[in-house]
Structure 1
Amino acid sequence: MFKNILLAADGSVHSKRAASKAIYLAQNVSGSKITLINVLDDLRNRKDILHETMEIEYDTSTSIQKEQTKEIEETIKEAGVSLEVKHVIGEPGPTIVEEANEGEYDIVIIGSRGLNPFQRMVLGSVSHKVSKRVKCPVLIIK
């Protein structure tokens, strides 16, 4: 059923729960593959970042984020599921949508942070953006 799974993950608790569901689905279909996409938000392109210290913080946060997804990668491999990893720099919502729509995925699995209405209005919800724009089914894990 869901043989080619796109897992959007950033190493957060929510994405770890999403990874567990992706593993569960993949283990129930022979020959399944999980593609883990980790989108590193390119803050350097935003006009409000003017200081060199912000550049250092960005480099540190991207290193930490890549390290955090390694735990998810190891969990998937230990489960015996085929895995491809893509680390991409860009805006998370549109980047995940582009990958999902250009790839031949049967489902996208993504965690939800559970933002309140004000946070959703100000920050926007990546999972909401993805679910509205992706052509295949989307499973949002809370």
Structure 2
Amino acid sequence: MYKNILLPYDFGNSFSNVPEQLAKLTDNDEDATITIFNVISEGDQANNVKYHGKHFEDVTKDKIEDLKPFTDQLDELGLNYTTLFRTGRIVNELLKEINENDYEVVVMSNKRSKRDIKHVLGHVTHKIAKRVNTPVLIIK
């Protein structure tokens, strides 16, 4: 079905049900690629440098390690993926990535780890769904 999927990954959301949905969206096509995209906010990056002495490359290595349980699920399902990290303002970087590349669909998780949040859609999910022309699939 889809061959070029963008998956904005937020470490604050639960992505437990996303791998199965990605397998359905790609129809297990070997040519399909999922781009796992994470934006490290400017504040987080500055804090990592100031308090931990970690620069962008070090932070991305840590994040790849944190992604391992998720990527292991993708590997088990035989899905092709790449990881991409940027630093900056989250919404702006996501919009830039979507607009500069030819993604067929953007898959976002809206299953929050914290249940006490009152809004149905998160801030980033709402802004992206509202501002892009690419189809956005929000997985609950």
TM-score range, shorter chain: 0.7 to 0.9
Q: Of residues 36, 53, 56 in structure 1, which corresponds to 2:51?
A: 56
Q: Of residues 107, 115, 122 in structure 1, which corresponds to 2:105?
A: 107
Question: Hey, what does 2:135 align to over in structure 1?
Answer: 137
Question: Hey, what does 1:18 align to over in structure 2?
Answer: 18
**Superposed CA offset, 1:19-78 (max 9, x none):** 432233123545211111111122158xxx8xx79932695xx56544322222222122
User: What percent identity do the matched residue pairs reach?
Assistant: 28
With normalisation by structure 2, the TM-score equals: 0.73
Q: Which amino acid aligns with 2:101?
A: G
State whether residues 107 and 137 of structure 1, in contact with CA within 8 Å, keep that contact through their aligned partners in structure 2: yes
Structure 1 residues 127, 18: CA separation in 2 closer, same or farther (over 3 Å shift)?
farther
Question: Hey, what does 2:118 align to over in structure 1?
Answer: 116
Distance 2:48 2:28 in 1: 47
Distance 2:28 2:48 in 1: 47
Which of the pair is proportionally richer in helix? Answer: 1
State whether residues 10 and 65 of structure 1, in contact with CA within 8 Å, keep that contact through their aligned partners in structure 2: no
List runs of 5+ in structure 1 lacking aligned partners: none
Distance 1:135 1:75 in 2: 29
Question: Hey, what does 1:36 align to over in structure 2?
Answer: 36
State whether residues 8 and 107 of structure 2, in contact with CA within 8 Å, keep that contact through their aligned partners in structure 1: yes
With normalisation by structure 1, the TM-score equals: 0.73
| Secondary structure at the counterpart of residue 36 of structure 1 | strand
Question: Hey, what does 1:2 align to over in structure 2?
Answer: 2
Number of aligned residues: 132
State whether residues 3 and 29 of structure 1, in contact with CA within 8 Å, keep that contact through their aligned partners in structure 2: yes
